[in-house]
Chain A
Amino acid sequence: MQKFDYYYEGNALQMDILVYSRVSTVSLLPTLELRATTKLLGIPTAKSLLSFGAGSLTAGIFLSREQHVNAGSQVRRLYPASAEYPDLRKHNNCMASHLTPAVYAKLCEKATPNGFTLDNAIQTGVDNPGHPFIKTVGMVAGDEESYEVFADLFDPVIRERHNGYHTRTMTHPTDLDSSKIRSGIFEERYVLSSRVRTGRSIRGLSLPPACTRAERREVERVVVDALAGLKGDLSGRYYGLGQMTDQEQQQLIDDHFLFDKPVSPLLTCAGMARDWPDARGIWHNNEKTFLVWVNEEDHTRVISMEKGGNMKRVFERFCRGLKEVERLIMEKGWEFMWNERMGYILTCPSNLGTGLRAGVHINLPRLSKILENLRLQKRGTGGVDTAAVGSTFDISNLDRLGQSEVQLVQTVIDGVNYLIECEKKLEKGQDIRVPPPLTYK
């Protein structure tokens, strides 16, 4: 695997500094696939920053905090920071808790190489003061570099959201070896369905709040191309949102397969619904147990699911499918956004790390508030922003960052087992114990 490095000029007035190339790890022949680069090279204003060596092209992405792009001269500033500072007095989200006037003044003139600014990042948190059920994050990343350029704000937000995680000093474990899972097959009387999802971003392309139409279409092309290579129980088909029939779409929504047209202001205020439904779609395997959403809140959302309680099998398919998709993408010279401090890079800071949400729809008429001690989260069966229907809950992991995929799924499995035991005790009229808070070793 080639390491990527790139360099950019700190004070360039023209944003012609971002040039990527893809290196094929499969072949070093002169007929390398340069599909991704040919559209970027040769533009009159673009300066080529590639270095050549040994018959292969190398370029890359290495970002050091000391080399921040200070694009203040291009970011339109007629007023001092104090006049632009948002009014957050009635706000209750992570961004509002950490965006002091001093931090705002420090960051407001910066931009990522793609031109994403602080105001872009925080707009959703300014427009959405609070949420009735959860303390929202209130900011998004427009690209991989956002997390570095605006680290003075992202870091404390990440710390608050992820249980004290320090992105500068801690490392995040990635583990997709599903064979390590113990137990994980629940009684169908209680567990109606099981699901594991994560997100993946394609390195080198801006994220949904900031991507241009061309970038979004490129994401779609790259992902759909790779998915076409899946075989066996994973082989399937892509449905572009703009080409789907209303019937197909409704069927997919009813099956809990499709993402809604974005109506949540948390998403729309962050610019993620722009140009809808251009370059959005859903891919799923023929068995409808492995799905990929393209260009919703992230470049991709990868989901493994099935009816019933076999979480073990769901996670096995999840890991296998993910690794296969990654392999197929890398064959074409692309890779996922990832680093060892923050794990997988996604649009919302709440999804950093594993980006993983593993959960079940479980029927627990006698449920009590044990969940927090088990590091579990409940949602309604419509997902985030919904309430439970009757006594059926969506139970999933609370954490994303600092624990690996295997660890998080095991946490859900152990917790759900505990809940079922509690439910059974309550059925018999027995007492249940509130478990002690779970501490991670």
Chain B
Amino acid sequence: MPFGNTHNNFKLNFKPEEEFPELSKHNNHMAKVLTKDMYAKLRDRQTPTGFTLDDVIQTGVDNPGHPFIMTVGCVAGDEESYEVFKELLDPIISDRHSGYKPTDKHKTDLNFENLKGGDDLDPNYVFSSRVRTGRSIKGYALPPHNSRGERRAVERLSVEALNSLDGEFKGKYYPLKSMTDAEQEQLIADHFLFDKPVSPLLTCAGMARDWPDARGIWHNDNKTFLVWVNEEDHLRVISMQKGGNMKEVFKRFCTGLQKIEAIFKKHGTSFMWNEHLGYVLTCPSNLGTGLRGGVHVKLEKLSQHPKFEEILKRLRLQKRGTGGVDTASVGGVFDISNADRLGSSEVDQVQCVVDGVKLMVEMEKKLEKGEAIDSMIPAQK
């Protein structure tokens, strides 16, 4: 819970070793990187909005480990967090993003025409396709740290921009606090709405404060393009549809995003972006493209194959349950998405998904017929 800068100054009355968190049983990126010396060095710093080291790491202290994934264990409270706490976040970013160096540059490519294929995934196996990313509005603190006033300002700016979209993107905003329970449950069931936050990964970082104030969902009339406001990031932008036509999903994604960005620029605001970290978001795991492109795909046999994890790793893919992060798979249906975010472009990452899922569906078909798939196992991408 963010306590602000006055409280941090009080904390400095105690020695670093007295304040250093107990991390011996922890298994997350933050716990692996944060030493006592680093804690002593960084603890008296704060960002211009007053975000401190303890604010950054609280979620990682409170959540020692996760059964399915190696969590990051820290969050940013604003754009400057990544600079002010560089000594901590750079190694974490490197660990999380396959050795990304502080001097590396990130490539942004939202030209959907550069994607090859993606329109022929077998709908008997691939039930839905989805691409999401996040965007942060420059000059505003992020969800772990923002005050009610700031959060409401983000909502205001976002809704203003979204309401001026037209064509296939014409839509409506539904603020969470005036939605009926029935509307809300329908949207959750349709995989459109974000859950009330129950994951301690989010709640311990302070992202659920004041819920549901200034949270909401905007979606177009077709329900194929959605924007979440003030969940884990200022904005989450999602393009999705049933079936396996990832190409179409990605096209709508890129077009919609670029339209939104243009409107923001016209109104004098912009997104947090720099050429080292790409798009700046709350969780270091989402830096770069912030893109998670994925499908719900039935891989009943393949998922039980001993090499399943290895195959995913080589294809640079990640699995989740059909409820999203923190859930298990149901009925052999998995959410398969790109594992990378930083160091490769949007097009690169969606290409991984398209190619990888295509291959895995072919493997699944082979296994259904009782055939071996060893010859199909790919090399590390």
- Chain A residues within CB distance 8 Å of chain B: 14-16, 18, 39-40, 43, 45-46, 71, 74-76, 78-80, 83-87, 90, 111, 113-117, 119-120, 123, 126-127, 210, 212-215, 217-218, 242, 268-269, 271, 273-276, 278
Contacts and interface: CB of A to CB of B under 8 A. Distances in A.
Interface stretch (B122-130, B142-150, B184-192, B286-294): B142-150
Contacts of B5: 74, 76, 115
B369 interface: no
A15 B10 contact: yes
Main secondary structure of the interface of A (DSSP, over half): loop
Contact of B12 (A43, A113, A116, A269): A43
Nearest to B7: A115
Contacts of A275: 21-22, 61-62
Given A45-B12, A278-B22, A76 B147 contact: yes
Given A83-B153, A114-B6, 10 more contacts: A15-B6, A18-B10, A75-B6, A86-B210, A115-B6, A115-B7, A116-B3, A117-B6, A271-B1, A275-B62
Contacts of B152: 83
Contact of B14 (A78, A215, A269): A215
B183 interface: no
Nearest to B200: A268
Interface residues of B, number: 40
24 contacts: A15-B7, A39-B14, A39-B18, A40-B13, A75-B4, A79-B150, A79-B153, A83-B148, A85-B148, A86-B148, A111-B6, A114-B6, A117-B4, A123-B1, A123-B209, A123-B210, A127-B209, A127-B210, A210-B3, A212-B11, A214-B15, A214-B19, A242-B22, A278-B22
Contacts of B3: 115-117, 120, 210
A180 B61 CA distance: 48
Nearest to A213: B19
Across the A-B interface, the 8 shortest Cβ-Cβ residue pairs? A79-B149, A115-B6, A115-B7, A214-B14, A214-B18, A83-B149, A271-B1, A15-B9
B256 interface: no
Given A79-B150, A127-B209, A274-B62, A120 B1 contact: yes
A71 B5 CA distance: 11
B211 interface: yes
A106 to B, nearest CB: 17
B335 to A, nearest CB: 27
A87 B213 contact: yes
Contact of B147 (A18, A78, A90, A210): A78
Interface of B: 1, 3-15, 18-22, 25, 49-50, 54, 58, 61-62, 147-150, 152-153, 177, 203-204, 208-211, 213
A337 to B, nearest CB: 18
Contacts of B177: 87, 90
A304 B12 CA distance: 38
A78 B209 contact: no
Contacts of A127: 208-211
Given A86-B148, A115-B4, A214-B18, A76 B10 contact: no
A45 B12 CA distance: 9
A120 B2 CA distance: 9
A80 B121 CA distance: 53
A18 B12 CA distance: 11
Contacts of B204: 273-274
Nearest to A89: B177
Nearest to A215: B14
A39 B9 contact: no
A125 to B, nearest CB: 11
A274 B6 contact: no
Contacts of B4: 74-76, 115, 117
A248 to B, nearest CB: 16
Nearest to B203: A268
A214 B49 CA distance: 24
A75 B3 CA distance: 10
B9 A126 contact: no
Contact of B149 (A78, A111, A117): A78
B14 A212 contact: yes
A226 to B, nearest CB: 20
A213 B18 contact: yes
